[in-house]
Amino acid sequence: MNITKLAVGTATALLFSLGALGAQETEEEIMEFNQQSYMLEAPITERVDPGSSIMPTNPAQDYVANTMMVPISAEAKMKLFQSLMIGNPLSLRDMMNLLVAKKKVLPGITFDEVIESMQSKAFDLNMRPTGHNTPYIVLRETFDPESPRVEFLSFCDLITMRKILDYSLEFSAFVPCRISVMEDAHGDIWLATLDWDIRWLDTSPNPNIISDELRASAIRVRENMEAIMEAAATGDF
């Protein structure tokens, strides 16, 4: 396949999908939109064959569990990301949109009901609650009494977290899994989470891959986060 055409086609698809959901949708339209946050039957399920690699990768390496890697310098990171940005058609706002999965809560469901649904579904899925922050309270007290409500809830599969940290201690910056609940300018309620879908994150031809067992556990955690958000968006207690 022509790599240039593939990249252009992917970029075009991204740009055409970057629309804003307004405030006047029907419940059916909202639910259709919400289904886009996770593909149960992902088109990419297998890792890329290292033999088909276009760019050279590091060889397979042994590592000691639960240890930090040698840091990458700020200069090296800057040069790498600047080189990647050359062919990137997205704005910073677009890229933030790309990195999250989000759902709009159906009309008639209150903010408190959204929180209650999340906590109930997390309990059913054995996702342990590990944090609940309410920064909007401080904002209303110190900055703006009308500041929109925003809360952050964290959930974790502790055994999977431990295994992930053994593989990559740097991953501690991304766990536990967090879901934000917020009101937008229209007064609608939204849910958003970091979309670390291991089914495409772990398709690099680099041979230093996670085990099949850990990969399956990570996929299950992502599916559980999707289920928590779906329950909250539909008011499922």
42 pLDDT tier (thresholds 50, 70, 90) = low
User: CA-to-CA distance for 16 and 94, rounded, in angstroms?
Assistant: 11
**Predicted local confidence at residue 3, as pLDDT:** 43
Q: Is 130 helix (H, G, I), strand (E, B) or coil?
A: strand
**Would you say 168 and 162 are in contact if contact means Cβ atoms under 8 Å apart?**
no
Domain CATH code at residue 227: 3.30.310.70
- Domain for residue 89, yes or no? no
Structural domain harbouring 189? 99-237
Lowest pLDDT segment from 138-152, 177-191, 194-208: 194-208
- Domain for residue 143, yes or no? yes
Q: 3-state DSSP helix/strand/coil percent for the chain, to nearest 5?
A: 50, 15, 40
For the entire predicted model, the pTM comes to: 0.81
- Domain for residue 81, yes or no? no
Lowest pLDDT segment from 39-48, 150-159, 161-170, 182-191: 39-48
- Domain for residue 62, yes or no? no
- Domain for residue 192, yes or no? yes
- Domain for residue 37, yes or no? no
**Would you say 33 and 21 are in contact if contact means Cβ atoms under 8 Å apart?**
yes
CA distance readout (Å), 171 to 66, 75, 97, 132, 166: 10, 21, 21, 21, 9
- Domain for residue 191, yes or no? yes
Q: Is 154 helix (H, G, I), strand (E, B) or coil?
A: strand
- Domain for residue 24, yes or no? no
User: CA-to-CA distance for 112 and 73, rounded, in angstroms?
Assistant: 44
**Predicted local confidence at residue 38, as pLDDT:** 77
86-97 burial, b for 16+ CB within 10 Å, e for fewer? eeeeeeeeeeeb
Total domains in the chain come to: 1
Dump pLDDT digits (tens) for 208-231.
888 999 999 999 999 999 999 999
